[in-house]
Chain A
Amino acid sequence: MSTTRKPASVRQEADERWREETLEPTLGKMPERMEQFTTTSLYPIKGLYTPADLEGIDFDADVSYPGQFPYTRGIHATGHRGRLWTMRQFAGFGSAFDTNKRFKYLLSQGQTGLSTAFDLPTLMGLDADNPLSEGEVGKCGVAVSSLADMEALFDGIPLEDVTTSMTINAPASMILAMYLVVAEKHGASWKKISGTLQNDILKEFIAQKEWIYPPRPSMQLVIDTFKFCTDEVPRWNFVSVSGYHIREAGSTAIQELAFTLRDGIEYVQWAIDAGMDVDAFTPRISFFFNAHNDFFEEIAKYRAARRIWARVMRDRFGAKDPRSWQLRFHTQTAGVTLTAQQPYNNVARVAIQALAGVLGGTQSLHTNSLDETLALPSEHAATIALRTQQIIAHETGVTNTVDPLAGSYFIEKLTSEMEAGALEYIRKIDEMGGMVEAIDLGFPQKEIHESAYEFQRAMERGEKLVVGVNAYTDVSDENVQPPMLVIDHTTAEFQSRRLADLRATRDQDRVTQALDLLENGAAEGRNTMPLLIDCVRSYCTLGEMCDALKEVYGEYQEPVF
């Protein structure tokens, strides 16, 4: 940062002198532990960073102040001094009644927002009584097959006061329609309710792989929700562009950053192409990043994300509203780093990852429970995870100042390197024609697989150590297992009975008519949201709505890459 620096040549000479006079004699006596030090993404890190590394980084243009373009230091002038991040623990299991109880428990423990995990049948748009759902109902999240389940899920929860995040993608618009009808029944105004719909179908094709329709009609469904929410549910965050799953699938930090931001660019471009005004919808786009183990790499990643997004929105898309430039994000600690071996060690991992998210300026945070690699979190484990956030917020002092790591030679250099690496990927994807085209080519999918395989090999060569897995494994508490939450088959039976009752008692003519209108409307290219809301009010099931659209859109088959 030019204002605080000696001329570069003088600095480089001084660095060189230190290397000769101090470093080399030390290395002569005692070599370093490894030939090359790398991050968990296998990105090389130098032993020392000095002002010479700040060459080319301009304080005003590249770092600046919190709340000011390009927001490297955060989108709020007061950081976490003004408002703490939202402590938002992802929860969902069993039936809607089971999860409703957990929601109420978490709110009573000081959690400030809800976050809904749906089970796999729901994520795939299948009803609980579909044969493909066998063995999966209520296992990885809550089972929701119709409005009746959604009513039970949010029973007694004040929807105008609590923000709700819903992790759902391929059938996101159907689930949003259900939530809106529940709000309507509670008397909560669509103009006042707020929350987040993940609704990020691109990362499904790239990494998480829970899709229904092919990419292009899937994108159309997403754009329908953008338009509908912009007009009718103005405080709703209708997409959470997610790097989390990309990272969990094995990407590097730079790939997570690049593919997530390029996905964001793709949504903005599609919405503009559909006739939307960029500043009318972009402020409601939010992001979701992973908090992995490599502390500084993660912090640099969040800072680079804000800087890239601000410039892309202003310079590439010509957005005028500063809110369009500000990248807001949720963070979740990295599930993939949790170990089944010595599971109590996971509390330490989660705390360090969460700290990186906080120092990176996150707007909301989920901390994983120590038992999540074994099963869904028990209430006890979920409470420790929430308490971890409260300890960071109230005991460590890290929230006292904004972006405390700014100005570190290392952090600023690494932020710039993350940015450069991501921009290179974004340029490549632009050249392919965009992210949908890159997905057709299998480009991000192959890049992630390569990184996952490289990391596995590095671990097996012993270059990367994981405590309790390939190091420090010989301990007596290896088999100390936390108590686990077990979801038995009674949920599936319960859900099947509920669905049978529903199908027997609802107005079948109305159901048939609503589904016909949905199918015909989609075929004509009308916005699907009002049609889906009508289906939901008629108690069409999730599976029925998804199947009606399969008639129009077809189903996605992943090519072999």
Chain B
Amino acid sequence: MQRKIRILIAKPGLDGHDRGAKVIARALRDAGMEVIYTGLRQTPEQIVAAAVQEDVDCIGLSILSGAHMTLFPRVLELMRAQGLEDVILFGGGIIPDEDVPKLKALGVAEIFTPGASTQAVIEYLRELCPVGRLTRSRSIESRTPSSSSRSTGRTDSTRSASRHSRRSMTCS
């Protein structure tokens, strides 16, 4: 059975503007993806911890406060520290044009600014993480290094397994 794309929608920063985050979370869910919304005012540490725990394919950050040049780099740094190199980080919100190339150079996959349609975000994510290409499989039976690499064609199974065990630790 094909599994769904798993996405963490996160709202860092001190502001309470969650309209965009909630609309995109709903649209992605309606498009058949599994969406976890963090709620407001999450620190980069909390966001990355949630991404590890929820074992997501993508993280979407919604930032409207102007703190994007502080928050995106911090999240990327923590993602690397946690070994989340293959998790896609994208973002949206009030982000001036001139900051977009800077963020992309740091490793942010895409920035959707106001006016981007939810359909564009859905298509982008489907393109970037087609389910057949994904590293991880959710069923317990397939959680062995060999089946994982067979199903994905990727070789990064060790980390994948370690992330699963981290998740089961928190679940127990």
Contacts and interface: CB of A to CB of B under 8 A. Distances in A.
B106 interface: no
B40 A209 contact: yes
Given A375-B96, A456-B23, A469-B115, A209 B65 contact: no
A374 B96 contact: yes
A373 B13 contact: no
B167 interface: no
A132 interface: yes
B161 interface: no
B114 A339 contact: yes
Given A136-B67, A452-B23, A373 B114 contact: yes
A210 B23 contact: no
A527 interface: no
Interface stretch (A120-128, A252-260, A268-276): A120-128
Interface string A122-155: 0110100000111110011000000000000000
B39 A120 contact: no
Interface residues on A, range: 35 or more
Contacts, number: 90
Contact of A466 (B23, B67, B115, B119): B115
A256 to B, nearest CB: 14
Contact of A456 (B40, B43, B66, B118): B118
A120 B118 contact: no
B118 A134 contact: no
A69 B48 CA distance: 57
B115 A132 contact: no
Contacts of B71: 135
Interface in B65-83: 65-67, 69-71
Interface in B96-120: 96-97, 113-115, 117-119
A133 B22 contact: no
A209 B18 contact: yes
Contacts of B113: 340
B67 A139 contact: yes
Given A120-B15, A136-B13, A209-B16, A456 B27 contact: yes
Given A341-B115, A484-B96, A123 B27 contact: no
B15 A210 contact: yes
Given A120-B14, A250-B19, A452-B19, A136 B43 contact: no
A481 B117 contact: no
Contacts of A123: 14
A517 interface: no
Given A209-B40, A339-B114, A449-B22, A135 B15 contact: no
A453 interface: yes
A452 B66 CA distance: 23
Interface in A370-388: 373-375
Contact of B65 (A120, A452, A466): A120
Contacts of B19: 248-250, 452
A121 B14 contact: yes
A487 interface: yes
Given A135-B71, A460-B118, A558 B65 contact: no
Contacts of B22: 449, 452-453
B4 interface: no
Contacts of A375: 66, 96
Interface in B39-66: 39-40, 43, 65-66
B39 A560 contact: yes
B94 interface: yes
B102 to A, nearest CB: 14
A405 B14 CA distance: 42
Contacts of B14: 120-121, 123-124, 126, 132-133, 136, 210
Contacts of B97: 479, 481
Contacts of B117: 459-460, 470
B26 interface: yes
A86 interface: no
The 6 closest A-B pairs by CB, nearest first: A209-B16, A135-B70, A135-B67, A120-B14, A139-B66, A469-B115
Interface of A: 120-121, 123-124, 126, 132-136, 139-140, 204, 207-210, 248-250, 339-341, 373-375, 449, 452-453, 456, 459-460, 466, 468-470, 479, 481, 484, 487, 558, 560
Interface of B: 13-19, 22-23, 26-27, 39-40, 43, 65-67, 69-71, 94, 96-97, 113-115, 117-119
